[in-house]
Amino acid sequence: MSQPPLASFGPPQNAHAHIQLVSVMRRIPVALALWLASILTPLAADTLHIIHTNDFHAHIQANKTDAGAARIAAFASQVRRESGAVLMLDAGDAISGTPVSSIFEGEPIFELMNLMGYDVGLLGNHEFDHGIEKIGTFLDIATFPLLSANAKNASGGLIADAPYWLGDLGDISVGVIGLTTPDTPSLTTPRGNEGIAVLAINEVLPDLINTLRPKVDVLILLTHLGHDNELELAKAFPSVDLIIGGHSHTLVAHPVKVGTTWVAQADHYGKHVGLITLDVDPNAEGRAVRSLSGGLVSADELTALDPEVDALVNHYESQVAERVNQTITHSTRAYSSDELQPILEHMLKVALQADLGFYNRGGIRDSLPEGPISARMIWNIEPFGNSLVRLNIKGSDLLILLSQEQKLHHAADSIDPDQRYDLATNSFIGSHAKLAFGDSVTLQDTGLMIRDVLISHIKDRGLP
């Protein structure tokens, strides 16, 4: 996809524009208005405002905790109207997490992001959930570039639109380099992603920084690496001005300064939206960024709706509502993701009459509340479209599989290394086990969707 022309932005606001901003502020919550006024007030030098999100995971519908696409779009429009030079960035994993994304394989999310006004996006690991051919469709749908400097196909070519983006916003020249987590091949299904490689950061980043740093006033890394890794990245590459991160779902209330580099991340699911202001002197002999301020705006502070985005959200949600909104049981208590793991594993074990079940903790994408439980909630727990598989595996290999969990799996102590087990699990785990252990495991894919198995069990037997 060719890079679309960058919209022309005017110089920093004059007094009249600031009066307009104050007028708009009267229509939003007081605390948010005061904070926005403080960081959007024109500065002596050129000012760049950055709106940023990450790990949206297709939470397009507004609810008690998630802003939803229409409210984020209205906020972005307000900032653009009143703030001159604005850049809107997303740090990956825009898809996979709701029925709309699952049923339509992520495509509506990029349609919505077009309307929301994103300038640059990033390939996170979940953009690979439907294979790299589907990523080609995402690139065609998106009217903004999707970046990744280190994700390569089997031929060694870039999977993304480009490794970086360059643009001028008013008098400010900006460069954005995209970086995807090198763990992606182990985090996504092998099916459809054969031969992909995500290179180590040190293999690609130094040359890109050396190329872009002399050309831009502001150099940004748009990364899907996790907050701890992004802090380390800031130490390793001090010539970068700002890192906008994702992957770890970290709520970074205000950008963290590491040496001369700032690091930010905006939670997940649209629970918060980041807004950062940079004071830039394009004529400076040294570093052009003189100061940086900003933080996060919470979903409950975003009340206005963009009508066009809202209409498109409703268009897609209405197509899945009948399928996913029916109540399947009532729960007398809430369940955290950790509490759900052994419960879901038991459901898989029962479905296949296996020796035991295994549901990887990273594949449990939501929790359950007390009260009515809908099929939609189960879709949100398992949004990936994995199927139920029977894996016959030696105990010693099973222990290796269980050791990949972030903490000791509750069944690990009961596994005999010399015994073979029938394991009920999902196709994601099954395919990676087959790659790792080869002919020492046998795999039978039932073709039954994991979420359908869970919904059926809960309908018949409820929750414990």
How much is the average pLDDT of 404-417? 92
Please give the share of the chain, as a percent, with pLDDT higher than 70.
90
In whole angstroms, give the CA distance from residue 146 to residue 441.
38
How much is the average pLDDT of 52-60? 97
Q: What digits encode the pLDDT tens for the residues 209-219?
A: 999 999 999 99
pLDDT at 12: 29
pLDDT at 17 over 50: no
Mean pLDDT over the full length of the chain? 91
How much is the average pLDDT of 408-423? 95
Please give the share of the chain, as a percent, with pLDDT higher than 90.
85
Q: What digits encode the pLDDT tens for the residues 119-175?
A: 999 999 999 999 999 999 999 999 999 999 999 999 999 999 999 999 999 999 999
pLDDT at 8 over 50: no
pLDDT at 447: 84
256-263 contact pairs (CB < 8 A, 24+): 256/231, 257/292, 258/231, 258/234, 259/234, 259/235, 260/287, 261/234, 261/237, 262/234, 262/292, 263/227, 263/230, 263/231, 263/234
Measured in Å, how far apart are the chain's first and last C-alpha atoms?
50
Please say whether the beta carbons of 198 and 224 come within 8 A.
Answer: no
In whole angstroms, give the CA distance from residue 459 to residue 461.
6
Sorted by sequence, the CB contacts under 8 Å of residue 38 that are 6+ apart come out as 293
Confidence of residue 41 (pLDDT cuts 50, 70, 90): low
Please say whether the beta carbons of 255 and 276 come within 8 A.
Answer: yes
How much is the average pLDDT of 236-261? 97
pLDDT at 83: 85
In whole angstroms, give the CA distance from residue 210 to residue 193.
31
How much is the average pLDDT of 191-209? 97
Q: What digits encode the pLDDT tens for the residues 257-296?
A: 999 999 999 999 999 999 999 999 999 988 999 999 999 9
How much is the average pLDDT of 24-38? 52
In whole angstroms, give the CA distance from residue 189 to residue 429.
9
Confidence of residue 13 (pLDDT cuts 50, 70, 90): very low
pLDDT at 19: 28
Residue pointed to by tokens 């035991």: 356
pLDDT at 31: 54
When computed from its CA atoms, the radius of gyration of the chain, rounded to whole angstroms, is 23
pLDDT at 40: 60
Q: How far is CA 196 from CA 127, 192, 428, in A?
A: 13, 9, 16
Per DSSP (E only), the strands in 54-171 are 85-90, 121-122, 146-147, 151-152, 164-169
In whole angstroms, give the CA distance from residue 71 to residue 303.
6
In whole angstroms, give the CA distance from residue 157 to residue 135.
14
pLDDT at 377 over 70: yes
Confidence of residue 45 (pLDDT cuts 50, 70, 90): low
- List the one residue out of 396, 389, 449 whose CA is nearest residue 425: 389
Q: Which of 14-28, 309-323, 368-382, 441-455 has the weakest average pLDDT?
A: 14-28
Q: List phi, psi (to 5°) of 393.
A: -145, 145
In whole angstroms, give the CA distance from residue 245 to residue 228.
10
pLDDT at 444: 92
- Note the pTM of the prediction, 2 decimals: 0.83
2-7 contact pairs (CB < 8 A, 24+): 3/145, 3/161, 3/162, 3/165, 4/143, 4/144, 4/145, 6/119, 6/167, 6/168, 6/169
Domains of the chain: 15-316 (3.60.21.10), 325-461 (3.90.780.10)
pLDDT at 38: 58
Task: Report residue 18 as tokens.
Answer: 């600031």
- List the one residue out of 421, 186, 444 whose CA is nearest residue 411: 421
Confidence of residue 47 (pLDDT cuts 50, 70, 90): very high
Q: How many helices (H) and strands (E) does the chain have?
A: 15, 20
pLDDT at 2: 32
pLDDT at 22: 34
| 312 residue type, one letter | L
356 exposure class (CB count in 10 Å sphere: 0-12, 13-18, 19+): middle
Q: Which residues of 33-67 are buried (b: 16+ CB within 10 A; e: fewer)?
A: bebbeebbebbebbbbbbbbbbbbbbbbbbeeebb
In whole angstroms, give the CA distance from residue 60 to residue 438.
40
In whole angstroms, give the CA distance from residue 305 to residue 116.
11
pLDDT at 226: 97
pLDDT at 9: 25
Confidence of residue 16 (pLDDT cuts 50, 70, 90): very low
Q: What digits encode the pLDDT tens for the residues 74-106?
A: 999 999 998 889 999 999 999 999 999 999 999
Query: How many other CB atoms sit within 10 Å of the CB of residue 314?
Result: 14
What sign for the dihedral angle of Cα 395, 399, 402, 408? positive
Residue pointed to by tokens 């994993």: 93
Task: Report residue 27 as tokens.
Answer: 């229509």
In whole angstroms, give the CA distance from residue 46 to residue 172.
7
Residue pointed to by tokens 């998106």: 142
Q: Which of 19-33, 335-349, 361-375 has the weakest average pLDDT?
A: 19-33
Confidence of residue 347 (pLDDT cuts 50, 70, 90): very high
